[in-house]
Amino acid sequence: MSTATLTIDLDAIVSNWRALDAMTDCETAAVVKADGYGLGAGKVGRALARAGAHRFFVAAAEEGAALRQALGPSPVISVFSGHMAGDSDIIGDTDLVPMINSVDQLIRHFEALPGHPFGIQLDTGMNRLGMEPGEWAAIRDVALAQGPQLIMSHLACADEPDIEMNEAQIRAFVEMTEGADVPRSLANTGGILLGKNYHFDLTRPGIGTFGGRPFADASPVVRLEAPVIQCRDLAPGESVGYGNKFVATRQTRIATIAAGYADGLHRVLGPKAQAFAEEEPCPIAGRISMDTIGVDITDLKGDPTSLELIGPQQTPDMLADYAGTIGYEILTSLGGRYTRRYTGG
């Protein structure tokens, strides 16, 4: 095995989704965009469908078509980017529900696929996707007359419970949807945790299902283990890797492992991340290369055959802190070269 192994615990994913579902009295959808946050939308989607998820969300129509193939005809698959130019065939052929973001998209949808299900996405202040209040007011009656399945909006600051923006968004959402006899959805993972008045009729957890912040009680989902290519001894003064960034200050043993930034382990992680031999942390030595990483294993009892980069000792959220980003990006960066092993489900 010369590539690293990414183990994805489908039981943990299901248990996280169920825990988030148990926090509300409404329906819980599953957000599996970006190939299920990098963990495999098909496999994850099937596990969650078996666990009772009926509605799935993806970012793009192309993702929806791939998910349809994995899930079969029954589940509802909604598309956040709505009905874009060129999407009509995919939406029609694979029975997707576009979340309409603008008057342009609404007209496109009604013209290309009359009678085909759709949802409405409203902007309540994030200014990213969805109709503006004025736009919505102008076409609300026309849109509602065609029976949208769902009206949704998205929170810009759900991870920061104290911020005033959350309350402002909820007020805007209620105002814009008042009197519409259509199921409503506002909450992502953060929104579920914010409390009951954010839940409405359907929640849309993403990152929490995959074990990440802000869902503090989530079960860990991912384990990444890289095989050791070789080990070597360094005398003090010898250096490791590009630009000689690690210089041995003592008699040192270095393991070279088969994983690198081409596998989504951001180069910037180098100075802070560690590799683990069971529970023993080993510092990364020098720059992360495209395909390899040097690890200082001097303090281990013997040479390991593999080292763990993601697991209980070093979570995606910890790596995110080291890289100055968020756990979402650590997950969606996980590369195509891993051997992917699924457990449970």
Interatomic CA distance for residues 269 and 255, integer angstroms: 17
Does 7 participate in binding its own copies (rule CB under 8 A)? no
> For its own copies, which is the closer residue by CB, 142 or 229?
229
Residues 193-222 touching its own copies, rule: CB under 8 A, are none
Q: How far is the CB of 22 from its own copies (least distance, A)?
A: 26
Q: Residue type at 228?
A: V
Could you give the 3-state DSSP secondary structure of residue 93? helix
* Contact pattern for its own copies over residues 253 through 282, marking x by CB under 8 A: -x-x-x-xxx-x-xxx--------------
Site string for its own copies, 55-94 (x = CB under 8 A): ----xxxxx---------------xxxx-xxxx-------
| Residue (101 or 315) nearer to its own copies, CB | 101
Catalytic, 242? Answer: yes
Q: What is the smallest separation between the CB atom of 34 and its own copies, expressed in angstroms? A: 4
> Pairing state of beta strands 55-58 and 30-31?
parallel
2 binds its own copies (CB under 8 A): yes
Q: Which long-range contacts (CB under 8 A, 24 or more apart) does 270-273 make?
A: 270/245, 272/322, 273/309, 273/314, 273/319, 273/322
Q: Does 225 bind its own copies (CB under 8 A)?
A: no
Report 101-160 residues binding its own copies (CB under 8 A).
Answer: 101-102, 104-105, 123, 125-129, 132, 156-157, 160
- What is the C-alpha to C-alpha distance for residues 54 and 73, in angstroms, rounded to an integer? 11
- Rounded to whole angstroms, how far apart are CA atoms 249 and 269? 22
Site string for its own copies, 284-323 (x = CB under 8 A): -----xxxx-x----------x------------------
Cα–Cα distance, 8 to 335 (Å, whole number): 14
Distance CA(287)–CA(305), nearest Å, equals 21
Catalytic residue list: 33, 242
